[in-house]
Amino acid sequence: MRSAFAIFAHPDDIEFVAAGTLLRLKQRGWQTHYLNLSTGNCGSVEFSPAKTRRARLAEAKEAAKILGAHFHSPLCDDLEILYEVKTLRRLAAVIREAQPGIILTHSPQDYMEDHMNTCRLTVTAAFTHGMPNFHTTPPRPTFAHDVTIYHAMPHGLCDPLRRRIIPGAFVNTTAVHSTKLAALGTHRSQQGWLDVSQGMNSYLRSMEEMSRAVGKLSKRFKFAEGWRRHLHLGFSAEDIDPLADALGKDYLINTAYERSL
């Protein structure tokens, strides 16, 4: 079965920028996988790390269930997502288990290191999918088929230096927006934390505004998620775009972006 894997840093990151695309792929018959690399243990101003970790794990499992995705357990704690071989071996093992043809992950440029380190780890772990001499923890066999990586839009739609990031393609999430909203709504522990730490007055409204802003950039869709496709070298054939093949008219290539390459 065709498989797609969303690999992001924290519980609720997938729901903000990638859940709509996962849902669209699920509708097209793809098996979908869901991994938050971190437990989210620092995401509270009220509870201890242990209590926060338990709450956020339960919320993430509930969200994955709503999305119809196979849940994979976190590997790290907040701010401990480091580009190191120990974590790389563990993540590579999970990718080899899922054998995805599509991987969705963070933008290489984002507002915090956990997001960017998750992106780096995911890209390298995916690169090893056909390397038997790279040993994973636990040991897992390699697989040979193409892997295409797509990078989501960063929060704020800009890089850490406030420069605008333009999507290379758009996925129409309008028809699944309510399900995406329901999945994000499971992360109830984040309302107070995001209001206090990041000024995101109602995280549900913030997601909706971001989805609407990306839809506006597409000039076609009401709500959308934006993606940039990773270079094919070492991962796949040059001319494949499996999201386009899977989603058809719900996938729009940004021709202005393509012309700029």
Domains present along the chain, CATH in parentheses: 3-260 (3.40.50.10320)
Cα–Cα distance between 216 and 233 in angstroms, integer? 32
Question: How many whole angstroms separate alpha carbon 220 and alpha carbon 203?
Answer: 25
How does DSSP assign 205-239, residue by residue?
Answer: HHHHHHHHHHHHHHTS-SSEEEEEEPP-TTTS-TT
> 27-31, 204-208, 217-221: lowest mean pLDDT where?
204-208
CA dihedral 109, 70, 146, 179 (to 10 degrees): -60
Its pTM stands at 0.95
Q: What is the pLDDT of residue 111?
A: 96
Q: Is the pLDDT of residue 77 over 80?
A: yes
Separation of alpha carbons 117 and 10, rounded Å: 12
What is the chain's mean pLDDT, rounded?
94
pLDDT at 8: 98
How many CA atoms lie less than 13 Å away from 37 in the CB half-sphere?
29
Strands of the chain (E only): list them: 3-8, 31-36, 70-72, 102-105, 148-152, 169-172, 224-229, 251-253
Report the C-alpha gap between 15 and 226 in whole angstroms.
13
pLDDT above 70 for 117: yes
Least confident of 15-29, 188-202, 206-220: 188-202
Write the pLDDT tens digit of every residue in 130-152: 999 999 999 999 999 999 999 99
What average pLDDT does range 167-196 have in this prediction?
88
First to last CA, the chain: 33
Burial bucket for residue 124 (CB in 10 Å: 0-12, 13-18, 19+): middle
- What pLDDT sits at residue 254? 93
Three-class secondary structure of residue 252 per DSSP? strand
Residue 200 reports pLDDT greater than 60: no
